[in-house]
Every structure is written in C-alpha cells, then in structure tokens.
Structure 1
Amino acid sequence: MKTKNALAWIALGCLVSTAGWAQKSAVQSIEEYRAMLQDGNPAELFEAKGEGLWKQKRGPKNASLEQCDLGKGPGVFKGVFVELPRYFADTKRVQDLESRLLTCMETLQGFNAAEIAKTPFGKGEQNNMTALATWIAAESKDMKFNLPQTHGQEKTFYEVGKRLFFQRAGSHDFSCASCHGQDDTRIRLQDLPNLTKNPGDGVGFAAWPAYRVSNGQMWGMQQRLNDCYRQQRFPYPGFASDATVALGVYLGVNSKGSASVAPAIKR
C-alpha cells in the first residue's frame, strides 16, 4: 500500500513538473517571437513619419511643431517622454504626451484640437498623432521614468488615477486591477504585469506606444487605455480626457526608475 502511494505521488509530481515546463515554454516562445520581430519593428516607420511631421509646416498657420514645449522648453524632445504626464502652467492642466501634442497642434499650427480628439484612432490627424508620439517616445528609449509629483495637481491626478484603477463597474464588475492588480497572472498565454507597483524595465506603462502584431496597428497610450476600458465593458473614455491622463500619472509614477523600451512590439 505504501509503495502504491509513493508511486502515485511520484506520478503527480511528474505531471505538475510537465505542466509547469509547458507553461514556461509557452511564455518563452512568445518572448522569442517578439525578439525576432524586434529587429524589424514596424514602429520604425512611424518614428520616421513622426520626425517628419514634427519639422513639417502644416495646418492653417503653416507652422511646424519645432517650438512645441513638451516640458523641457520649446523644441526639446529628448527625455520628455519619461517625465510625462506632468503639469503645464500655460494650460493649467496635467497633460500626457498626446494631450500636450494636441495643445501644440492647436496653438502653433491652428488645428482644431476638439476635432482631432473626435477622430477615430488610426485615421486622419489621429494617425499623425500616433506617429508623433512614437517618434518622441523613441527619443527617450532606455531612459528611466521620473514623473514629477511636486505640483498639487500632479499629486491629485495620481490619487484620482489610483481610484480609477481600482474602480469596479460595468456589466462584468471589472476594474483595471482585475487584470493588473496582483502578481503571477496571465490570460491567453500573455503575462499580466502587476501595475499597482513598479513592474520593472520595459513593462506596462514603459512599453507604450507599441506596434500590435495581431492587428498591424501602432497604438499610443490613449488607445491602449481605451481598449482596456472596452475589455472591461465600460463606455469609451474621451481622447486625452482627465480620466485617461490621471491613469497615466498613476501608472507612470509607479514605474519610476524603470527604463522605457517604447516603441515596443506586442502580440
């Protein structure tokens, strides 16, 4: 009887080990697939387009974006991505990269920011917005995130973002934390990082904008958050709304010290 029990425990151990190996192997395969694609990441095409758009004179005012202030002074783009969202005195608002670009496109080039915000993702000026965000993010690649938290609004936005992250609602009673609120979770062989704390270099907030291989699209952070709300069965948030910017502040502050790998490549 004891021999039978011992054999049963050995068999169970082998099954557990095999299952664990298969799970690890699947994750490793996905990472290897991403590594192979990274050498020819299509995001590079968006980077090139974004740099051209930054310098090109466009809009009703026939002006470029070369005097756009993204937080380090007019025309400075290196290193700004890892310090956004942040408070801007001229708009008296906390803004992320995309909402700040909207401000510059309106004030410098004469575009209608409200109309751009209403444009569907991947079309018209929204497509240009994604290209600009991709290029600017690339100019801060490998730099460490260090979002400011000195202004009162920046602190408020962090707390609002934290509440939104844990807010459960919708038909499925989901929240952001349902998928990203604990360690060692996954869905469809996809690891789900815990975003309530620093997830590490190039993970979560530190990986967007990113090219989505599954649909052949380049996504900025605004679209990433929009799709998260879709999966929670929430109404879509407004583009560059205070809600999405607040979530960006919460995720960005939690990523302090992590290196940006944006623009990354995703499944």
Structure 2
Amino acid sequence: MRNTRRRLRGTVALTAAAIAAASLAGLASLAQAQGSTAEEIAKYRQMLAEGNPAELWEAAGEELWKKPAGPKNASLEQCDLGKGPGVTKGAYAELPRYFKDANKVMDLEQRLAWCRVTLQGLTQEEATKQPFSASGKPSDIERLASYLTGESRGVKMNVQLTHPEEKRVYALGQKMFFYRGGAYDFACATCHAVDGQRIRLQDLPNLLEPKGAQAAYTTWPAYRVSQGEVRTMQHRIYDCLRQQRFPEPAYGSDVITALSMFLAKNANGGTYDGPNMKR
C-alpha cells in the first residue's frame, strides 16, 4: 500500500509538472501569436496609409472653408482658431484652448460651430447639423475638421494650461476620464489606464502615459475603413461612451471638450499625424 501511494504521488507530480509545462508553452505561444497579430495589423495600416481616402475629405474641407455660405454669404477664412484670423497652420496642435471672444475653452469642432454662427450667420442648430455622416448624408463638419487637422500634420502637440479656465477644464476632463457609470460601471480608465490591455485584436493604449496618449490622440480624425468615412475626435469619444453604455452626449458639449483637453494635454510632445486611417 505504501509503495502504491508513493507511485501515485509520483504520477500526480509528473502530471502536474506536465500540465504546468503545457500551460507555460501555451502562454508563450499565445503571447507570440498576439505579438505577430499586432505586427501584422501595423503592416496592414502602413499599407493602407499610402492611399488614405481622408485626402478627399481634406480637399472637400478646404473648399468649404473658402466658400461663402450662410445668411452673411461669408467664408470661414477669417475664423480665428487661436493663432489669429485665418491662420490654420499648426492651430489644431494647440487645441483645445481658451478663446477670449467666446469666454470659454473650445475644441476644434466647438470653435468651428462658433465661427459658422458669428461669421456666416447660421443658427447654432444649423451650424451643428449632421456632425457625423451617415449613409447618403455627408457631413460638412467632418470635411472641415479633416482639412483643419491636416494643417497641423508634422507639428508637435502643444496644449497649454495657462488660463484659469484651461486648468479648470483639464481637471474636469481628468474627472470624466475616471468617472464610472453606465450599465457596465465602466470608466475611460477601465480600458485606458494601464499597459498591455487588449480587446479582441485591438491594443488599448494607456492614455495616462505620454507614449500611449501621443499614439492615440495624434492620429484622430481618421478614415475608418469599416465605415467608409472620416471620423473626428468628437465621434471617437462619442463611440467610446456608447460602448460603455453611457447616456448619449450632446454634440459639442463642454464635457466632451474637457475630456479632449485632458487627452490632448497628455499627448503633448507627440507629432500630429492626422487625419490617419483606422480599421
């Protein structure tokens, strides 16, 4: 009986060792597969970027920027994006920011709506109509945003917190990033506050670290291959909140600008490379 127990313990030990070895081999294989998948996705994106359809949105946006429209029959060429009326080069890399004429911090899309109202005479409802394109319904806002963000391509992100309102809005964005809610009790931080997170085949950047924030923020807006449209930063945040099962945010709302401010500031020093291309 004693010998039988010894043989049994030996068999169990060998079996446990074999299981452990198989598990380690499986984990190594999984890690290798994940690494290979990430590399292949990167190659795929690089291949697609050589003929990014977002260029068509940029060209259409430039036409809209220079075309007289609205009750005042005026173009947007005198819109001040923070670097002076009509200056577009590098402007997006410094947004969101405080605007004295509006007495508030604005992101690009809020500022565009403000300029369409003040310069072209549109109502706020008209200026923000169709912010996101749908089947058969193109969005002028997405086209304008594509053009204006493209004007900062190659420029380093440089969002400042010099005005008290900029500091307040950044703090609000930080609070929003960590705020848990919705049916899943999720926060932005649930997916984007640690390294190594993944969902399906998608790496989830750590947006609290410069490397992750720079890689993510500097590539939006982006042409979504799966949707056949260019999607703006407002849309990206809107879609994240939708997936968290948060209430639908109002387009151009201050809380979305605050979250953009938090992310943009974290991305400081990164070279802007949008509109980019995403799956």
Scaled to the shorter chain, the TM-score interval is: over 0.9
Letter in 2 for 1:102: A
Aligned mates of 1:60, 1:118 — CA distance in 2: 16
Alignment of 1:156-175 (within 5 A): 156-175=168-187
Counterpart of 2:122 (choices 97, 102, 111) is: 111
**Does residue 1:184 correspond to 2:196, yes or no?**
yes
For structure 1, the residue ranges without an aligned partner over 5 or more in a row are none
Aligned mates of 1:174, 1:42 — CA distance in 2: 34
Alignment of 1:187-266 (within 5 A): 187-200=199-212, 203-266=215-278
Aligned mates of 1:110, 1:125 — CA distance in 2: 23
After superposition, the CA RMSD in angstroms is 2.1
Contact 1:202/1:262, CA 8 A, preserved across alignment: no
Aligned mates of 2:138, 2:108 — CA distance in 1: 13
Contact 2:219/2:272, CA 8 A, preserved across alignment: yes
Aligned mates of 2:139, 2:153 — CA distance in 1: 21
Alignment of 1:1-267 (within 5 A): 11-117=22-128, 119=130, 121-122=132-133, 127-200=139-212, 203-267=215-279
Q: Could you tell me how far 1:107 is from its partner in structure 2?
A: 0.9
Which secondary structure does the structure 2 equivalent of 1:211 belong to? Answer: strand
Q: Could you tell me how far 1:86 is from its partner in structure 2?
A: 0.1
Seen in structure 2, the aligned counterparts of structure 1 residues 232 and 13 have a Cα distance that, compared at 3 Å, is closer
Between 160-169 and 55-64, the greater mean CA deviation after superposition: 55-64
TM-superposition CA deviations, 1:81-100 (whole Å, max 9, x none): 11000000000010000110
Contact 2:116/2:122, CA 8 A, preserved across alignment: yes
Seen in structure 2, the aligned counterparts of structure 1 residues 67 and 17 have a Cα distance that, compared at 3 Å, is same
Contact 1:161/1:247, CA 8 A, preserved across alignment: yes
Aligned pair count? Answer: 267
Q: Could you tell me how far 1:200 is from its partner in structure 2?
A: 4.7
Q: Could you tell me how far 1:15 is from its partner in structure 2?
A: 2.6
Q: Could you tell me how far 1:178 is from its partner in structure 2?
A: 1.1
Seen in structure 2, the aligned counterparts of structure 1 residues 260 and 8 have a Cα distance that, compared at 3 Å, is same
TM-superposition CA deviations, 1:106-144 (whole Å, max 9, x none): 111111223333535216997111111111111111211
Which secondary structure does the structure 2 equivalent of 1:265 belong to? Answer: strand
Aligned mates of 2:197, 2:93 — CA distance in 1: 27
Contact 1:144/1:260, CA 8 A, preserved across alignment: yes
For structure 2, the residue ranges without an aligned partner over 5 or more in a row are 1-9
Contact 1:198/1:256, CA 8 A, preserved across alignment: yes
Contact 2:205/2:212, CA 8 A, preserved across alignment: no
The normalised TM-score by structure 2 is 0.89
Q: Could you tell me how far 1:235 is from its partner in structure 2?
A: 1.0
Seen in structure 2, the aligned counterparts of structure 1 residues 10 and 178 have a Cα distance that, compared at 3 Å, is closer
Aligned mates of 1:145, 1:40 — CA distance in 2: 25
Aligned mates of 1:185, 1:237 — CA distance in 2: 26
Aligned mates of 1:9, 1:230 — CA distance in 2: 41
Contact 2:76/2:119, CA 8 A, preserved across alignment: yes
Aligned mates of 1:198, 1:92 — CA distance in 2: 29
